[in-house]
Amino acid sequence: MRVGYFDCFSGVSGDMTLGALVDAGVDGRAIIEAVGGLGLPGELSFETVRRGGFRATHARVKTEEEHAHRHWRNIEALIDKSALTASQKDLSRQIFLKLGEAEARVHGIPLERIHFHEVGAVDSIIDIVGSAVGLDLLGVDRFECSAVPPGRGFVRAEHGRMPLPAPATAEILKGVPLAESHVEMEMTTPTGAAIVTTVAERFGPLPAMTVESIGLGAGTREVPGQANVLRLFVGVLACSAGADRVFMLETNLDDIPGEVVGYTTVKLLEAGALDVFTTPIQMKKNRPGVMISVLCDEARIPAMEDILFRETTTLGVRRFPVSRHKLNRKAVDVETEFGAIRGKLGWLENRPPTFSPEYDDCARVAAERDVPLREVFDAAHAAYARASADHPTRDH
């Protein structure tokens, strides 16, 4: 399994992410072309610089001064009408949505009323969309990330002087392990925090891996006594193909309504659980109950347990590591008579892959076209079968 690991020893920002992706091997011209298609008054370029004595790639964005603030709907429309691929559009939306939801919680207003301020500026849009394109083009199966140093001291924003981490950054980094900050500056920006928390499946030390390339993305400032760079390691996990370790959390409940159980499972999945399921059980004194089981990465255990303790009446949660053996997986799009449908391929080495259409895509198309859901599923499977017959070696 190919993995990308963000080493954020000096924090993370949008321009650092862009620089690290290009330095790790992503074609910078493809990113420049993609963001150029947005039609914004800004220009992206990449240059080689030195930070703390080390060579790195710096993403430079030149823009005209703007006074307009953009809302979520403006940014969403900009992404939707672009020429980005479906996966790049989806990732761009996810990153912006994470930012918007954090701002909405911080200010206590609905997402639709949020002015994106600095995040809605041209340079930030280019940073986010360009990073989404680069992350997609890097071609890894998963991303992981180190603990994140937010910085210390104060930063001046539109609402005045604020202690670090900035409110939106702190909101985004909830549930993420933070590293000690040795520098009096903003080391992690809201944009950088949104990018890594959107894509990273695990936060922790560098995994056992065979490194293929290392990208260094330069921050804008020189930092005394420290190289102000983001490192991106790209390589292959050293564990056996398709194997990893996650954690199972379990709790038994017999005194809450079923509606609360359902609501809790939704919140767990929204918070990043890999899977959540319930099992009917017989508890002491012959009381019927339910067991909630949560599968998650180790870094997300605190967030999962917080939800279980907050939303249910449980007095304790069991946790234990479990090993998994997974199929190799790859996201693919197929063209059907109903339009493009996203799906996943799964395969073991030397065996033909299986194709599974994404339910959300199929359900959306079924509702929009007023056709049975099974017809959309059948059309997606047929489209994949035709594509495989035309290109029998392209699957994996």
pLDDT tens-digit map of 250-270: 999 998 999 999 999 999 999
Token pair for residue 300? 């997300």
- DSSP structure string for 107-148: HTS-GGG---GGGGSHHHHHHHHHHHHHHHHH--SEEEE--B
For residue 159, the model assigns a pLDDT of: 66
Q: Left (φ > 0), alpha (ψ -120 to 50) or beta: where does 74 sit?
A: alpha
For residue 285, the model assigns a pLDDT of: 83
Percent of residues, the chain, with pLDDT higher than 70: 92
Sign of CA dihedral 288, 289, 291, 292: positive
Higher pLDDT, 116 or 140: 140
For residue 118, the model assigns a pLDDT of: 46
CA distances from 82 to 60, 77, 132 (A): 22, 9, 13
Higher pLDDT, 165 or 162: 165
Distance of CA 47 to the CA centre of its chain: 26
Q: Under DSSP, is residue 391 helix (H, G, I), strand (E, B) or coil?
A: coil
For residue 243, the model assigns a pLDDT of: 65
Q: How far apart are CA 131 and CA 208, in angstroms?
A: 25
Q: Taking CA 300 as the corner, what is the angle to CA 282 and CA 173, rounded to the nearest 5 degrees?
A: 140
- Could you count the other beta carbons within 10 Å of the beta carbon of residue 352? 11
Q: How far apart are CA 229 and CA 215, in angstroms?
A: 10
| Residue whose entry in the numeric block shows the structure tokens 């929204």 | 270
Sign of CA dihedral 344, 247, 234, 169: positive
For residue 229, the model assigns a pLDDT of: 96
CA distances from 350 to 162, 233, 347 (A): 56, 28, 8
Is the predicted pLDDT of residue 392 greater than 60, yes or no? no
The answer to whether 98 and 173 are in contact (CB under 8 A) is: no
Mean pLDDT of the region 78-105: 91
The answer to whether 258 and 208 are in contact (CB under 8 A) is: no
Average pLDDT, the chain: 88
| Residue whose entry in the numeric block shows the structure tokens 């600095």 | 118
Q: How far apart are CA 176 and CA 302, in angstroms?
A: 9
- Could you count the other beta carbons within 10 Å of the beta carbon of residue 81? 12
395 — pLDDT class (breaks 50, 70, 90)? very low
For residue 208, the model assigns a pLDDT of: 84
Is the predicted pLDDT of residue 141 greater than 70, yes or no? yes
| 314: phi then psi, degrees, rounded to nearest 5 | -60, 145
Q: Are strands 142-145 and 200-203 parallel, antiparallel or unpaired?
A: parallel
